[in-house]
Amino acid sequence: MSSVDFGPFGDYRGRLGNLVFYKLMGRQVVRRIGRSVSPSVAQLAGWQRMSVVNAFLKPIMPFINVGYAVQAQESGMFPQNAAVSYLLRYAVKGSYPFLEMDYSRVLVSRGVLAPAQNASVVLLPEGLRFSWSYDPSFPFSLPSDEVMVMAYFPGLAKAVFEIGTAVRSSGSVVLALPDGMAGGMELYISFVAVNRKEVSDSVYLGGL
């Protein structure tokens, strides 16, 4: 795929031979269509990597739309594209055809705010209690920063998350879990500024 601001095809949109022209975020994009009869192992591996990442992102897109919004804006992308770019590069492990997400390397948000310090999580009858330390003197750390917490369930391809139900200075928040969703989860915490103009890298808290 390629894109140009101005070119010999002007503002053309549609199919021309095996090329398709369309607009994406104000630029003309050109894509070649058609596949080889026998895809290579490298192509198959690439498709599987993309499939694994997209399956992971599908149930958490509202979270990603906040967690990658700043980076996406700076890069001229959509949040999903920014997340896909990072996860494809850093958070897929294994060899084709046994590729899978490396949850310990996943970032569900990326930014310059201070990440959660000394974060931990415990499972209680009322849900997951996320806890962290708050030091008002710590750089890029405001008491009003809103907490983002997530429990991702790989076996169910589902996630439970909350954004903004607590602030950094509160030191803890409880994430309620629906009935039947109490095990086999991967856990993350991050922060976002009240004005949504800054966000922190997420912290992986392991699995339960």
Hey, what domains does the chain have and what are their CATH numbers? Answer: 2-32 (no CATH), 41-207 (2.60.40.10)
* pLDDT the model gives residue 38: 84
* pLDDT the model gives residue 24: 73
Distance CA 34, CA 188 (A): 39
Distance CA 149, CA 112 (A): 18
DSSP string, 151-188: EEETTTTEEEEEEEEEEGGG-EEEE---TT--SS-EEE
Distance CA 61, CA 59 (A): 6
Listed as ranges, residues in the chain with pLDDT below 70 are 1-13, 15-18, 23, 26, 32, 34-37
Distance CA 68, CA 83 (A): 7
Q: Whole-model pTM?
A: 0.82
* pLDDT the model gives residue 108: 98
Outline where DSSP puts E strands in 44-194: 92-93, 100-101, 117-124, 127-133, 146-153, 158-167, 172-175, 186-192
* pLDDT the model gives residue 10: 54
